A = this chain, B = another copy of it.
């Protein structure tokens, strides 16, 4: 097939005009049922498929959402994409993916690619590298609304969908306290990322609420990786007064800590408690099973799409007042932190 069939072809075949055929296929109310029927039949017969490009150029709407994530390799983002994409497709939107690979430069390139593609909206989760966020303002200038998810930035007046990180951290820490752990440490993430900062704050507040003095020595400035989890344990166990439990900022860090603790022969959870954050898939299958705080990833994706979809439908969508959606963190207390229960 050399030339793809167009509205023109259908119109000629039926002695109609392209405009009428267009309206018929778009189920326009002012077209007779009879015409619609015959047009649809002919479209199928000629294997017609609407040229979305031409349609977008004319109408100014692409029905495309750009999704910018740090990396598709992390289960967390795969899961969010799953939520976004399914809902988007159901609503007639295509989803284009761009990865920042945790680099600020790539993030800018991604946003520019989205602007160039004239996406109707952008969903993004910031890279660890990102401090300056002016590229998102550039999207706004190009009239494209943005919704951030998970890794957000509060300086910007941009809509967002997050889990309540503060509360999640509070619940995790409180759980360790209630399980009888006495000196609870925290392996923290980069503090310029709001989510990670909130988790530190939640940890501190839980200690305070239970009249435990906060000891800054018990906070290890780590990152979301296996290695930093191990390094965190190494640091903490060498303290004059080492902890007997750890709340880690994220599951990979928690896993690293778990492995390191096991290797050092510490009994978990009898001698040492550990809980992570994210409820990554593997947590259920480690031994002992890793406690964690679930972030409702699929729902986060769905909510992000719902929000951007809502915003798109406003006039002057890019300047729609910032809306913050916050999801409940769901604790999964498994064996790694549970002395009482199994």
Q: Which residues of A contact B (CB under 8 A)?
A: 1-2, 4, 47, 49-54, 56-57, 62, 64, 71-75, 77-79, 81-82, 85-86, 89, 94-99, 101, 106, 109-110, 112-113, 115-118, 138, 141-143, 255, 259, 281-282, 285-287, 298
How far does the Cβ of A261 sit from chain B's closest Cβ, in whole Å? 14
Chain B, residue nearest A89 (CB): B98
Given contacts A1-B143, A72-B81, contact A49 B95 (CB under 8 A): no
Contact A143 B77 (CB under 8 A): no
In angstroms, Cα B97 to Cα A241, docked, is 51
The 10 A-B pairs at the shortest CB distance, nearest first, are namely: A78-B78, A282-B282, A287-B287, A72-B81, A72-B82, A73-B82, A52-B116, A72-B78, A49-B115, A53-B57
Residues of chain B lying within 8 A (CB to CB) of residue A89: 98-99, 106, 109-110, 113
Identical subunits present: 2
Contact A47 B281 (CB under 8 A): no
In angstroms, Cα B86 to Cα A113, docked, is 13
In angstroms, Cα B115 to Cα A98, docked, is 21
In angstroms, Cα B77 to Cα A82, docked, is 11
Given contacts A56-B53, A78-B72, A78-B75, contact A285 B98 (CB under 8 A): no
In angstroms, Cα B26 to Cα A35, docked, is 45
Within the complex, which residue of B96, B109, B112 is in contact with A49, where a contact is CB–CB below 8 Å? Answer: B112
Chain B, residue nearest A50 (CB): B116
Residues of chain B lying within 8 A (CB to CB) of residue A51: 57, 116, 118
Residues of chain B lying within 8 A (CB to CB) of residue A85: 72, 97-99
Residues of chain B lying within 8 A (CB to CB) of residue A50: 116
Contact A117 B52 (CB under 8 A): yes
